[in-house]
Amino acid sequence: MSRILPGQTDLYALTDARLSKGRPLKEVVGALLDAGIRIIQYREKHMHQRQMLEECRLVRAMTNDAKACFIVDDWVDLAILSQADGVHIGQDDLPVSEVRKLVGQEMIIGVSTHEPKQAKEAWADGADYIGVGPIFATQTKEDVVAPVGLSYLKWVVENLNLPFVAIGGIKEHNIAQVSACGAKCCALVSEFVGADDIKAKVKSVRKAMHRNT
């Protein structure tokens, strides 16, 4: 297993077949890994579970070869069956304590949070990291909550000693703002998988993120 947590690497990529310009998952993930991405989350909402399991096993094999971390969004069963490194859950999913019973102590559990109360609960319940956002408006996720802006991110930086990834509407043109507020790891979806040249986009995003450091 590759227990790479946000903060131990700077960029975190999520898949989305609808935004990938018709390219197969293998091509997209391969380009992300070649560009040095070390955490990849499989997040697909519009497929049958059998196809999703096949794709999860593909990504698992690819991330193993690259010594990268593989996270499955929402689907605890798919994470277990594909031997993923972790699972990421939302506020309406199973509680961290119940997920831990299913996945054991070794698997990473990430939790999406949108306010201090949720962050404190995730920490107390034993989450390995939290998602902080959405920082900006995003169209890559349905039923998304309103943007929390940079104020919640600053609160997390100042009050919690827990690995976290900033997420939501983060792109090359605004990632420096997020980094300047203390985010050591940022998650991107459309900016990566929708790029014509994924490897070049990762390189330019990383440069923008570290421009002021």
pLDDT in tens, 35-69: 999 999 999 988 999 999 999 999 999 999 999 99
- Are 20 and 194 within 8 A, CB to CB? yes
**Averaged pLDDT, 178-196:** 98
pLDDT for 36 equals 98
pLDDT for 212 equals 75
Band of the pLDDT at 154, cuts 50, 70, 90? very high
| Distance in angstroms (rounded) separating the CA atoms of residues 48 and 41 | 18
Q: For residue 7, what are the CA distances in angstroms to 83, 131, 137, 162?
A: 23, 12, 23, 10
**What is the full DSSP assignment across 169-191?**
S--TTTHHHHHHTT-S-EEESHH
Nearby residues of 54 by Cβ (< 8 Å), 6 or more positions away: none
What the block records as the tokens of 113 is: 């949070």
pLDDT digits (tens, 9 = 90+) for 66-123: 999 999 999 999 999 999 999 999 999 999 999 999 999 999 999 999 999 999 999 9
Q: How many residues does the chain have?
A: 213
Q: What is the CATH number of domain 11-209?
A: 3.20.20.70
| Distance in angstroms (rounded) separating the CA atoms of residues 102 and 81 | 12
| Distance in angstroms (rounded) separating the CA atoms of residues 103 and 91 | 18
| Distance in angstroms (rounded) separating the CA atoms of residues 136 and 167 | 8
Which residue numbers are catalytic? Answer: 43, 112, 141
| Distance in angstroms (rounded) separating the CA atoms of residues 169 and 191 | 9
pLDDT for 31 equals 98
Mean pLDDT of the chain: 96
- pLDDT surpasses 80 at 141: no
| Distance in angstroms (rounded) separating the CA atoms of residues 212 and 174 | 13
